[in-house]
Amino acid sequence: MYKIFLVEDDDAIAGAVVRHIASWGWEARRAEDLTRVMEEFSAFAPHLVLLDIGLPYRNGYHWCAEIRKLSRTPIIFLSSASDNMNIVMAMNMGGDDFIPKPFDLEVLSAKIQALLRRTYDFGAAAPLLGAGGAVLDTGDNTLSYQGQKLELSRNEYRMLQVLLEQRGHTVSRDTLMRKLWETDSFVDENTLTVNMARLRRRLEGVGLTDFIRTRKGLGYLIE
């Protein structure tokens, strides 16, 4: 199921868009706090963003630029400011399409469907996994956090991938070892401990302290 993230301050428009998106079988989520758009983007890890320009606190151009620091997720601008200057600026800032307000919901869903098909059917962009403001890009095996990008080793990437896919749930050490080494053969548990310690040090280096929690006797958890 594709996930669509809507950044819109007009309650009536937001409600109509979310309901229409849901009717297509996609998962829609509206940004709840317009001062914390990036945290909500990272936590939801959407496949596509619908972004208004005229927002309180920070405009849509700002949030587009912030998203582009971390992600190639497609962005469609929605705005009543549909003069040529704003359309050109939206595209130059990293937008993929622009729909002027007021718009027809069927036109919106057709644009979303076309952009999702172009983006994901042909592998132009990779899915994202996120938590706590950190975003794991499964296409290039990197983790981004607050404008920093961490290149991950194979084992570091696999550990984070499994933990983020099971975010909020404890992953056992046995499960992690099977995922890392893809074998039923015995692997010394100390090898996992060493790999986990190394990953935690690297995460702390970019400010992600206590990102991975230990559940004693059970395994590891990203909340």
Q: What percent of the chain has pLDDT over 90?
A: 37
Assign 89 to helix, strand or coil.
helix
What is the pLDDT at residue 124? 43
CB neighbour class for 35 (10 Å; exposed up to 12, middle 13-18, buried from 19): exposed
What is the pLDDT at residue 14? 95
Q: How far apart are the first and last CA of the chain?
A: 22
d(CA 146, CA 125): 21
Nearest of 57, 73, 178, 182 to residue 130 by alpha carbon:
73
Say which residue, 125 or 138, is predicted with more confidence. Answer: 138
What is the pLDDT at residue 120? 77
Name the average pLDDT for the chain: 86
What is the pLDDT at residue 169? 87
pLDDT band at 51 (very low <50, low <70, confident <90, very high): very high
Q: What is the pLDDT of residues 117-134, one digit of tens each?
A: 887 765 444 567 778 888
Q: Mean pLDDT across the stretch 9-31?
A: 93
What single letter denotes the amino acid at residue 95? G
pLDDT of 155 higher than 70: yes
Retrieve residue 144's tokens: 């981004």
Length of the chain: 223
What is the pLDDT at residue 69? 84
Alpha helix (H) residue ranges in the chain: 11-23, 37-44, 60-70, 84-92, 105-120, 154-165, 173-181, 189-205
pLDDT band at 34 (very low <50, low <70, confident <90, very high): very high
d(CA 159, CA 214): 13
Q: What percent of the chain has pLDDT over 70?
A: 92
Say which residue, 189 or 97, is predicted with more confidence. Answer: 97
pLDDT of 186 higher than 70: no
